[in-house]
A and B are shown apart, each in its own frame.
Chain A
Amino acid sequence: MGSFELSGKVYQTDEDGYLVNMDDWNKEAAEHLAKEENVEMTDAHWEVVNLLREYYEEYKIAPMIKILIKAVGKKLGPDKGNNKYLYELYPQGPAKQACKIAGLPKPTGCV
Chain B
Amino acid sequence: MAKEKESKTPMLDELETGPWPSFVKDLKQLAKRKPELEQALGQLEDSYQTNTNHWLGTVLNLDGYGGGVIARYSDVQDKFPLAAQFHTIRIIEPSGWLYNTAALRQLCDISEKHSAGILQFHGMTGDILMLGSNNEKTYTAGEELMENGWDIGGSGPALRTLACCVGPAYCEMSCFDTLGLTKFITDTYISELHRPELPYKYKFKISGCANDCANSIQRSDMPIMGTWRDKIQVNQKEVAKFIKENGENYVVDNVITRCPTKCIKLEKKKIKIDDSNCVKCMHCINVMHKALAPGKDKGVTILLGGKRTLKIGDTMSSVLVPFMKMETREDWDKLIQLVRRIWDFWGEHGLDHERVGEFIDRVGLGTFLDGIGVEPDPQMVKHPRSNPYIKFEEYTQPRIAGEPKESPNVVDKEVEGKEAAV
| Chain A residue contacts of B59, Cβ below 8 A | 16, 93, 95-96, 106-107
B65 near A65 with CB under 8 A, answer no
> Residue of A at shortest CB range from B407?
A67
CA distance A58 to B407 in the complex (A): 13
CA distance A69 to B156 in the complex (A): 17
| Chain A residue contacts of B126, Cβ below 8 A | none
CA distance A96 to B155 in the complex (A): 14
**Residue B137 interfacial (CB < 8 Å):** no
- The count of A-to-B residue pairs whose CB atoms sit within 8 angstroms is 64
CA distance A15 to B58 in the complex (A): 9
**Residue B66 interfacial (CB < 8 Å):** yes
Partner of A95, one of B56, B64, B70, B196: B196
| Chain A residue contacts of B58, Cβ below 8 A | 15-16, 106
B155 near A92 with CB under 8 A, answer no
**Residue A64 interfacial (CB < 8 Å):** yes
> Residue of A at shortest CB range from B62?
A92
Shortest Cβ distance from residue A34 to the other chain B in the assembled complex, whole angstroms: 15
Partner of B66, one of A59, A87, A111: A87
**Residue B352 interfacial (CB < 8 Å):** yes
| Chain A residue contacts of B70, Cβ below 8 A | 111
Known: A59-B404, A66-B347, A107-B59. A92 touches B191 (CB 8 A): no
> Residue of A at shortest CB range from B75?
A15
| Chain A residue contacts of B211, Cβ below 8 A | none
**Residue B147 interfacial (CB < 8 Å):** no
A93 near B65 with CB under 8 A, answer yes
> Residue of B at shortest CB range from A67?
B404
B61 near A66 with CB under 8 A, answer no
**Residue B57 interfacial (CB < 8 Å):** yes
**Residue A109 interfacial (CB < 8 Å):** yes
| Chain B residue contacts of A69, Cβ below 8 A | 197
**Residue B405 interfacial (CB < 8 Å):** yes
CA distance A66 to B66 in the complex (A): 13
Kindly state the interface size class of chain B when it binds its partner.
20 to 34
Partner of B61, one of A61, A93, A106: A93
A110 near B65 with CB under 8 A, answer no
Which residues of A from 41 to 61 have beta carbons under 8 Å from B? 58-59, 61
B353 near A83 with CB under 8 A, answer no
**Residue B198 interfacial (CB < 8 Å):** yes
CA distance A92 to B156 in the complex (A): 13
| Chain A residue contacts of B196, Cβ below 8 A | 65, 93, 95
| Chain A residue contacts of B306, Cβ below 8 A | none
B197 near A65 with CB under 8 A, answer yes
Partner of A92, one of B61, B73, B353: B61
**Residue B199 interfacial (CB < 8 Å):** yes
CA distance A65 to B155 in the complex (A): 14
> Residue of A at shortest CB range from B199?
A64
> Residue of A at shortest CB range from B73?
A15
| Chain B residue contacts of A16, Cβ below 8 A | 58-59
> Residue of A at shortest CB range from B59?
A96
**Residue A75 interfacial (CB < 8 Å):** no
Shortest Cβ distance from residue A108 to the other chain B in the assembled complex, whole angstroms: 9
B197 near A91 with CB under 8 A, answer no
Binary per-residue interface labels of chain B (397-412) against chain A in the complex, 1 for a CB within 8 Å, 0 otherwise:
0000000110000000
Known: A65-B197, A69-B197. A110 touches B57 (CB 8 A): yes
B63 near A66 with CB under 8 A, answer no
| Max chain B Cβ within 10 angstroms of own Cβ: one of A69, A83, A106 | A83
> Residue of B at shortest CB range from A64?
B352
B155 near A111 with CB under 8 A, answer yes
**Residue A84 interfacial (CB < 8 Å):** yes
| B contact set with A: CB distance below 8 Å | 56-59, 61-67, 70, 73, 155-157, 191, 195-199, 347-348, 352-353, 404-405
Pick the 4 closest A-B CB pairs, nearest first.
A93-B66, A92-B61, A91-B63, A83-B195
| A contact set with B: CB distance below 8 Å | 15-16, 58-59, 61, 64-66, 69, 83-84, 87, 91-96, 106-107, 109-111
- What are 9 A-B contacts defined by CB distance under 8 Å? A15-B58, A61-B352, A61-B404, A64-B157, A64-B352, A66-B347, A92-B61, A93-B66, A95-B66
Beyond A66-B197, A111-B155, 5 extra complex contacts between A and B, CB < 8 Å = A61-B352, A83-B195, A84-B195, A96-B61, A109-B156
